[in-house]
Every structure is written in structure tokens, then in C-alpha cells.
Chain A
Amino acid sequence: MRSVQALAAAVLLLLPAYDVASAGEPKQGGILRVYHRDSPGSASIHEGATFSINVPFMPVFNNLVMFKQDVAQNSADSIVPDLAESWAWSNDGKKLTFKLRQGVKWHDGKPFTSADIKCTFDMLMGKSQQKFRQNPRKSWYNQVEDVTTNGDFEASFSLKRPQPALLSLLASGYTPVYPCHVSPADMRTKPVGTGPFKFVEFKANESIKLTKNPDYFKKGLPHLDGIEFTIITNRSTAILGFVSGKFDMTFPTEVSIPLLKEVKSQAPNAVCVVEPVNVSTNIIVNSSAPPFDNIDIRRALALVLDRKAFVSILYEGQADIGGTMLPAPGGLWAMPKEMLESIPGYGPDVNANREEARKLMQKAGYGPDKRLAVKVATRNIPIYRDPAVILIDQMKSIYIDGDLDVVDTAQWFPKVARKDYSLGLNLTGNAVDDPDQSFYENYSCGSERNYTNYCNREIEKLFDEQSMEKDAAKRKKLVWEIDKKLQEDVARPIILHSRAGSCWQPYVKGITIMVNSSYNGYRYEDVWMDK
């Protein structure tokens, strides 16, 4: 089994390389025209938490390190230097030192130095005078004690304890290096980076324009003269625009499966791929209040799920079933199939699972004559609402009558944070396919995004254990164990991991859609147009 997975991973790694090689020598020039699904709130990647910001602004920046842009699967092995020339861990695994490139300039002509690294990460850790208006990924750096510099071209991260995954977090599209000399406010409206493209303008609800950085430190890159994002909030108009040739590319991972069929029928030459986006559809249960403070009812809820029905109805079969971590072959850390199917509710016999669920409900005092009425809260957006409706339908079979409670976007997280819900349908996105990001953010005691307040000190110890483990194989086994336990505890029942489509015109070359994250693959320095 493992050898099959290894082969699949090898094929995944080789495919994009083959694509680039077969395309021939890159041509220079041209403006890549892409439609954007909505108007991002700002241009500052660090202050945002949606890939609506990453897609247009990642090309403006560089990281210390990044995931290789033509390798579809992000992993520790696909991390390459970016602003750093090289990196090294100390023997105790508590210090990560980067040697930085020399001669790199910010788009405004000022030199890049190690001080910019310190500024960026001090701000992310909340240690500097200048503050971000929002700092949604502060917790990523919980284990970083200090960032120090040694001269202009060396920077070190001192850690409280070993955390090999820190390098993956630094490689994310969410971790660009910002200039010290530009304020966070200016970075929200006129971002300055060192990246392959310079910011030209951002007209809210209209367009975002980038132009080639002729002084880019990676010689010969970028190939394109610029990138133009036209903001089109109406999905039908956007797709028609792509089909009519007005755009060279759709917004990445934004084409739903039914729409993909439309695109293929109207633009048969378009190159389209469907990939996992590392976003799970899951159930949040308020276990601190009745009726879900009763573990039997929570277990019954986990047993009622017919995941294949969700996948078939919502994604026409193109979604994955798994635990917390993204399933293989896209994901790196998911449990093997046999282990997954041994978890209650994941077995193939749905009727047997539901029979067991009914027994648990009867044990809790419910039955055909005494049904449990609950409100199923969810955001008023189709990707939330649609699975909630299916959930309500499935719950009927175990004496639970759900009533859909749609919540305006502006009220969803305040409501969840207040624990003003009994049962909710939620989506959880992961920027990096790494257990450190997923476990601490969603299941750690006291974490802001641990909506259900699930807190298990034993598992918490395992979180730290896996986080410090250097041996990838040992770490994987620990991760499987944790993931299994989380599902058995009904911490946040995972329904499915979605997939989405991306399309581009056949003359666009060098595009690689990442298979285990929607946040890290938009540098676009290798992209070119064969026309």
C-alpha cells in the first residue's frame, strides 16, 4: 500500500515537471488576464485570511523559503530557497538560521536586509511598535522565542522547543517578508515587495494590476510583462468571460464541478484540472450545553453521516473522505484507509451505523415518539448551506429534527465564538498541509479557532510530541493516532474534503495547481504564454 502511495506521490511530483519541459522554451512578454472572484479587503497578505488576497498579491513578494512552484504537492522536500540562500538547523533543533541573498532590492529601490526579516516576524509575533490591524496567524509563531540578526545577511529564529514544521509555515504563501520602511497601513493599499511583479494599482471592485519587476533578483524571471486581475463577483459572467477568451485563466480553484462541465463543453481546448483544496466540510457541536453535552448523542451524530451521499450530491463524486488531515494522494498525513474505516461512522455499512446511532439516541431518551429538535446554524453561503440541508435530512433517520438557521456572514464567527449555537455546519481551510497548523489551530485547548472548545490534555501532549518529532515516518504514525482519536472523540466530525476546478487557455504555460493547499502556489514567476 505504501509503495503505491509512494508511486502516486512520485507521479504527482513528476507531472508538472513534464508539463513545463514539454512546453518548450518559455517566451517572454504578455499580460496574463485572470478574473478575480471578489474584491479583497486589502492588499496585505499578513492581515488577511483568505486566498482572495494571496492570489493577486503573492507575486509581489518573496518569502525566506517557499514551496517549489512547479511541484503540485507541498512538502518539506519541496521547500526551496527564496530570499534565503540557504538554511540550517542547530543540533538541538531549536535554532533555524538563514543566510540571505545579497543585492536584493525592494520595489521602491531600497535594499533588502536581515532587518526586514526581524521587522516582519517581530510584527507577526506582536513584539514591535508597529502593529498589524489584524494578525490572524500570530499563533503560527507560538514556539518562536526570538528572531535575531547577524549582520545584514543572516537571520536566526530561536525556538522554545524543536519544531521542524516551522520551515513549512515559513514557506507558505501566507508568510511573505515585508519591508521595515513601509507602514502596515501602506502595505494594505500600496504593497511594496521584492517579488517578480510590482504593484501598480488596486481599484476596489474593479481590478488589480501588477507589472514585471525588471530588477527581479532571479535572473530571467518573470516571463510575463504583467498580470491583470479583473474583479467579477458574478460567477456566470466570469465563466462566460473565460469561455469567450476575455481571460487567460479562471480564478484558481474556483470553478465548481458542474460549472467545469460547462467550461469544457463551451471551450473544449481549455486546460482544466480538479484538485483538492484542503478545505474540510465539518460539523461543529456545542458540547458545553444540552443536548450535545451528552457524548451518546454526539456519537450518534457521527454515526448518522452518509459521507458518500454528501460527496455524490455536492461534488458529483469529486471530493475525498477522511479525518482531520487531507486524504491521500493529495494530502501527506492522512490515515490509511483501513485505519479510517475502523473509526465509528466511517465504516461502509451506513445502515448498520445508523442502527447503532438509533440505539444511542434511545439510550439518551429519544425515539420515534420523542424526537430531538435542534437548530443547525450555518453561514448563508451555498457551500455552507447546501451540506447543512443534507445533514438535516440524514439526521431525521435517528430521531433528530433539524431546523436550518442561516446566519449572515458578519454574524457567523461572533455567534460561534459566543457559543450561541447547538449544532453548526462549518468549513475549515488549511494553508499548510502540516499537522502543526491543523491540530493547534482547531483542536488545541484555548485556541481561538477551536470553536467547539474541545480540550483533551492527553491529546495535547501528543500534539507537542508529533510537533517535535524529526523523523517523518514516526511523526506520521503519531499524527494518525491523534487524528483517529479526534474522530472517535467526535471533536469536530469531518464530512468531506472538497475539490475544485481551475482552467486556463492552452497557450498559458507553467501553471501548477497545488494539490494540498490553496494558499501557496501563486508566485507566477515561471508562468509564460505561448503566443
Chain B
Amino acid sequence: MFAYIVRRLALMLVTLVGISIIIFVLLRVVPGNIVDILFDAAGFVDPTDKANLEKELGLDLPIYQQYLNWIGGLLHGDLGYSYVSEKPTLQEILPRIPITAKLAGLALLFSASIGIPLGVLSAVHQGSRLDYTMRVVSLSGLSLPSFWLGLLILMASVSLFGHMPIYNPNPKTWTEAFAIYAVPAMAVGFRSAALTMRITRSSMLEILRQDYIRTARAKGASETSVNYRHALKNAILPVITVIGIEAAFLIGGLIVTETVFNIPGVARFLVEALRWRDYPIVQNLVMLIAVVVVVANFTVDMLYAAIDPRIRYGD
């Protein structure tokens, strides 16, 4: 087990180095840089000013030199300066992380707490009206883009309550503080909840047909015990896998949700930084996301072993 963990950690490191190279090169392959964008608003490009600015930002150096400078800085905890705000990258990124983390956490919580119980219910009552209703709702959840759902929520909120639950850095009450995260979390987590529900349902249906479930019932176990103690425990593995993958995919949904609800989180910041070709911000943020994804995958693998005693990671 120990050797397996060490191997996985080494693989994680290789993956991260690979990602760092890919993102660094890709960013520079995309046409235009921050200097072009700064001049864009002026409506012309002054070649001398452009050259001076590129030199000031280190963009005139060979690409390998720029990469080494970045990685060298990263190893020393120096993430460089944002080209746009001219503030340290860390200072720009750090305050935004808790905002996105709260939103993502709530979205996953919403996804699991709604998706799993409804999936079980749907499977247990297969073919019933409840099952059909939930399948239709889950299908709509998978079909509705989160930005559209977000806009619908905002419009309904303004129309019904005359209030808009967009981000407010200084909420007056705890309910407001909760609402500014909970409402967008629901918007972004709806799709994920629908997926979780469908996976839970199909996994449960498979398990419920197993012999040991029939044995449990024959022994006189209650339906609740059969469904949740015997069936769900065994059906949960693929659901955990999906939630793990969803955690990684969530960033895509968060970009639009943060934009629609005007939340100053990491995801929206990444899009803006990309628009400005703010390389230090984009590189470091993508690396951060890569670390989160790699760690999430690692955690899911470890959870397998914890949940299913049959799984052993041999040397």
C-alpha cells in the first residue's frame, strides 16, 4: 500500500510537470499577447512602445527561458506579478480561492445530497410515477446549461421578490451570506445532481437484482436496511467515481455561474486573465486547478479502498 501511494505521488508530480509545459506552450501559441491587447483599445500598435513593454514584461526572452524563470519562481514561492493589475499573482489569486472553494463545495454537497437519495428512491420505485417524474427532472438537469438556469433563477428572483441574489462581499445577515453561495451552487450543482441521480439509480438497480439482496430480504431485513445498508453501500462506488470526475468538471460550470452571479471567484478570474493573456495569472491558476484535479483523483482512489474492503492496492 505504501509503495503504491509513493508511486501515485511520483506519477502526480510527472503529470503536473507535463501540464505545466503544455499550458505554458499553449498560452504562447495562441495569437496575441498582453501587449497587443493593451494596444487594442488604442486602435493602433506603436512598434517602439510595444517592444519596450514586451521587454519590461520579459516577453522578449526565449520561451524556454521564460519557462525556467516561471518554474524557478514557483519553487521559491514566487508566482510573479499580474501583467494587468501589476500586483503579486499570489495576492490576486489567494482571496478568490475560498470563494470558489465554498461555491464548489456547496455545489458538490447539493449534488450528492440530492442526487444520491433521489437515485435510490427512483431505483426502489422503478416504473412508478415517482420514478418517471424523477427521470424527466434529471434529464432536464442534464440538458439545461448552467448559465441559462442561472439567468432563469435571477430573472425569477427579480420578478417574484424584487431582489437579486448576486454576490455581495459584505452580507448583512447569515441568510444573505448563505444565499449568495447557495443559489449559484444550486444552479451549477443541478446538472451534477441529475447525473449523480441517474448513476445512483442504474447502479442500485443492478445491485438490487443480486442474490445477496434476495437473501437479505429472505432473512427478514427491513426494506430500509436492504436498500441503504446492503444495496447502497455496494452501489456507491461508481457514484463516488462520478462525483470525483464532476469535481474536476465543475470548474467549467463555475466559469459561467460565477459570471452570471457576478461572483469574484477563481473561475471567472481565469477567463478574464485569459482574455488579457495575463500569463502569470493563467499559468499559476491552471496549475492550481491541475493540482486540485490530481489530488481529487488520488483521494477517490484512496476512498475506494476505505469503502470497499475487497479493494487492496498491492505493491
A contact residues vs B (CB 8 Å cutoff): 39, 41-42, 48-50, 131, 133-136, 185, 188-189, 202-207, 230-234, 236-237, 240-241, 243-246, 266, 408-414, 417, 428, 448-449
Contact = CB atoms under 8 A, between A and B. Distances in A.
Contacts of B32: 408-411, 414
A43 to B, nearest CB: 10
Contacts of B41: 41, 48-50, 136
A133 B264 contact: no
A133 B49 contact: yes
Contact of A240 (B36, B84, B164): B164
Contacts of B315: none
Nearest to B84: A41
Contacts of A410: 31-33, 36-37, 40, 277
Given A49-B43, A205-B264, 19 more contacts: A42-B84, A50-B41, A133-B56, A135-B46, A189-B87, A230-B262, A232-B262, A233-B259, A234-B262, A236-B260, A237-B151, A237-B259, A240-B155, A244-B157, A410-B32, A410-B33, A410-B40, A413-B39, A414-B32
Contacts of B276: 41
B152 to A, nearest CB: 11
Contact of B36 (A39, A205, A230, A414): A414
B163 interface: yes
A175 to B, nearest CB: 15
B158 interface: yes
Contact of A134 (B49, B169, B269): B49
Interface of B: 31-33, 36-46, 49, 52-53, 56, 82, 84-87, 92, 151, 154-155, 157-158, 162-164, 166, 169, 259-262, 264, 268-269, 272, 275-277
Contacts of A204: 82, 84-85, 92, 269, 272
Contact of A411 (B36, B38, B162): B36
Nearest to A415: B31
Q: What are the 3 closest A-B residue pairs judged by CB atoms, nearest first?
A: A410-B32, A136-B42, A448-B44
Contacts of A237: 151, 154, 166, 259-262
B207 to A, nearest CB: 43
B43 A241 contact: no
A240 B160 CA distance: 13
B268 A205 contact: yes
Nearest to A450: B44
Given A133-B53, A189-B86, A411-B31, A245 B162 contact: yes
A414 B45 CA distance: 7
A189 B83 CA distance: 12
Nearest to A205: B272
Given A189-B86, A244-B163, A409 B158 contact: no
Contacts of B87: 189
Given A49-B42, A245-B162, A240 B154 contact: yes
A408 to B, nearest CB: 6
A237 B187 CA distance: 15
Q: Indicate the member of A133, A231, A234 with the most B CB atoms within 10 Å.
A: A234
Given A204-B84, A204-B85, A412 B40 contact: yes
Given A246-B164, A408-B31, A134 B42 contact: yes
